[in-house]
Amino acid sequence: MSNLDGVRALYAQTAPHYETAISPAMGALARSLAAWMARCVRENANGSLHDPFDLAASGTCPSVRLALDVGTGSGVLARRMAGFARQVIAVDVSAPMLAEGQAALHRERRANVRLVLGDVHRLPFRAAAFDLIGASFGLNHTLPRRSLRELVRLLRPNCLLCCQEWGGRDELSGLFGETFSAYTDSVEVDAAPALSAYLEAPCAWQTHLQDAEDYYSAFKAAGFALVWAQEAVFTTVRFPSVDAFIAYKLGWVTRRLRYEALSEAARRACDAALRATLAPHCAPDGALLWQPPLIRVCAVR
């Protein structure tokens, strides 16, 4: 069973930090995915989608009638999809994350995005309702067999699902993780029972899907007619400073709880160690360029 209470607890504590600390990076990754999705839609409409990972950047994407963004969080991908879809429905299991998304939609004056509270394993939409489905790190808390079959049900024939999830660990994340663990591995965290149970349980998605071949097999088994999957560095995220990168990493509740459990002196020492570790990797202007490997999938119903 999917631990929905645990996922909700996870994002209830992440939501207050999401738009300030996390969304700048996730937004950059979502923009890159949305641009790729638009190219895939264009080539599919032209009947020339032979290799989604080798498409020209030029050209106009035809307008998509109705699109779905699953695991939308605060809607970072949905807001980008709204540029080429007449209507976007964005679904997430976390009400606090959707509240953050609603505030962002109001700021951006996006009228063609509708946020919906729902579980991707069983969504309240008719079969073959959508012309495009997207997900930017929106599936990794789901049970793969159930969620992918549900997305097949919702997609019209010959239409596309495009998604991205995390690939292997990049150098900067590895350096951060090693340094952070040196200060926090022995820390005891007092988390809510639902969150603790979720964090201690194996992740079904990551257990079954670890590389591009796993993704290909899972999407084909779910019923997609054509599937392309690839792991690569698809874009570079620019953090203006080391501190912005550290804030992004600490914005996730799994790290923030451990960090906040440190004494004030230990937090200062941890901060100093993280800055010293990451500073040599900065550009001349002080920016930190992050290149996380991602797994991207384009699948045709």
Domain boundaries, the chain: 4-169+193-241+291-300
- Rounded to 5 degrees, φ, ψ at 135 are -155, 120
pLDDT value at residue 199: 77
Averaged pLDDT score across all residues of the chain: 94
pLDDT greater than 60 at residue 140: yes
More confident residue, 93 or 201: 93
pLDDT band, very low/low/confident/very high, at 191 (cuts 50, 70, 90): confident
Residues in the chain: 301
Q: How far is CA 55 from CA 2, 27, 140, 159, in A?
A: 36, 22, 27, 17
pLDDT band, very low/low/confident/very high, at 198 (cuts 50, 70, 90): confident
pLDDT value at residue 1: 44
pLDDT band, very low/low/confident/very high, at 268 (cuts 50, 70, 90): very high
Beta carbons of 160 and 132 less than 8 angstroms apart: yes
The CATH class given to the 4-169+193-241+291-300 domain equals alpha beta
In 3-state terms, what secondary structure has residue 114? strand
State the DSSP string of 79-110: HHHTTTEEEEEEEES-HHHHHHHHHHHHHHT-
Q: C-alpha dihedral over 154, 209, 9, 78, to 10 degrees? A: -40
pLDDT greater than 60 at residue 178: yes
